[in-house]
């Protein structure tokens, strides 16, 4: 007997059904996606200006990829409507799967842990975790499992070997933000979850070896991470202002989406706080 499709939340006044595909209102925001690309472009320009590129391509790409995934997650958190969590699951599957596939096909060790370095084992392990989390989230929409994205990656960045103290401090800041995301997602604080992931992506990108090796001993550790935080806040201000200017007509739609909980089993929307 076929199972009926169950209504799951309200989007723009229409009932939405549970889906295991990528179906989130975030995916249709082209202006927002274009503005989001500005973060990556700015980061790449700074890498070129600072001399990180072209000498540190490997660590640049190794930090750009995870930072981009965190940023995509943060954008999806802005729209916790029907099936957004499933889209996040697919992002985790695709991101982790791409890394593992690359390691399997192009690495000289081909996932042989007896051959790989301890650092590489950490990389493979965290991406296998992402795939497992993604599958579970797509199938079950588990609130705690999605929080494991923050917990697992937070453990990774906190324990991953770094070239110096500045690298440790910068990665620790990313780990703290990931922990905030895990807690916020668990308790349905979507705005906090979104912003914490956004700042985690910045801390992680600017903790790459090219930067921390170049500025270690030249810039105070705390000053460095505060400069990164200031840059992230400034870019957030600019992007949000431009997004509002170009998307003013979407304000009411955003409020409807914002009040819809992925994990609300009764299929309704939450009333706004007085």
* 54-92 pLDDT per residue, tens: 899 988 988 988 899 899 889 888 876 557 788 888 989
What is the tens place of the pLDDT at every residue in 97-130?
Answer: 888 887 777 767 766 767 767 777 888 888 899 9
CB 42 within 8 A of CB 100: no
CB 56 within 8 A of CB 208: yes
Q: Helix 30-50 vs helix 57-77: angle between axes, to the nearest 10 degrees?
A: 150
Q: In this model, does residue 256 exceed pLDDT 50?
A: no
Q: Which helix (H) or strand (E) holds 16?
A: strand 14-17
Backbone angles phi, psi at 207, to 5 degrees: -100, 10
Over 50: is that where the pLDDT of 259 sits?
no
Determine contact, residues 75/36, Cβ cutoff 8 Å: yes
Cα separation, 113 vs 94, whole angstroms: 22
Has residue 37 got a pLDDT over 90?
A: no
pLDDT at 2: 40
**pTM, two decimal places:** 0.80
């Amino acid at each position: 007997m076929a199972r009926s499709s169950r209504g799951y939340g309200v989007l723009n006044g229409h009932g939405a059904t549970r889906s295991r595909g990528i179906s989130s209102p975030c995916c249709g925001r082209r202006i927002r996606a274009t503005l989001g690309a500005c973060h990556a472009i700015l980061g790449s320009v700074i890498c070129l200006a600072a001399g990180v590129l072209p000498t540190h391509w490997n660590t640049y790409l190794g930090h750009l990829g995870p930072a981009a995934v965190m940023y995509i997650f943060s954008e999806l958190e802005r729209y916790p409507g029907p099936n957004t969590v499933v889209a996040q699951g697919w992002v985790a599957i695709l991101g982790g799967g791409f890394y593992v596939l690359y390691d399997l096909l192009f690495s000289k060790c081909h996932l042989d842990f007896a051959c790989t370095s301890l650092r590489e084992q950490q990389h493979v392990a965290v991406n296998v975790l992402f795939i497992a989390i993604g599958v579970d989230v797509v199938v079950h929409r588990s609130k705690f499992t999605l929080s494991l994205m923050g917990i697992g990656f937070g453990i990774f960045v906190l324990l991953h070997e770094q070239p110096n103290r500045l690298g440790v401090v910068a990665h620790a800041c990313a780990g703290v933000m990931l922990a905030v995301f895990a807690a916020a997602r668990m308790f349905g604080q979507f705005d906090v979850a979104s912003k914490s992931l956004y700042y985690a992506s910045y801390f992680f990108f600017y903790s790459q070896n090219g930067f921390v090796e170049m500025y270690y001993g030249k810039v105070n550790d705390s000053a460095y991470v505060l400069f990164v935080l200031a840059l992230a806040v400034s870019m957030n201000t600019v992007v949000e202002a431009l997004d509002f200017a170009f998307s003013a007509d979407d304000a009411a739609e955003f409020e409807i989406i914002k009040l819809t909980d992925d994990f609300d089993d009764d299929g309704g929307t939450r009333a706004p706080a007085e």
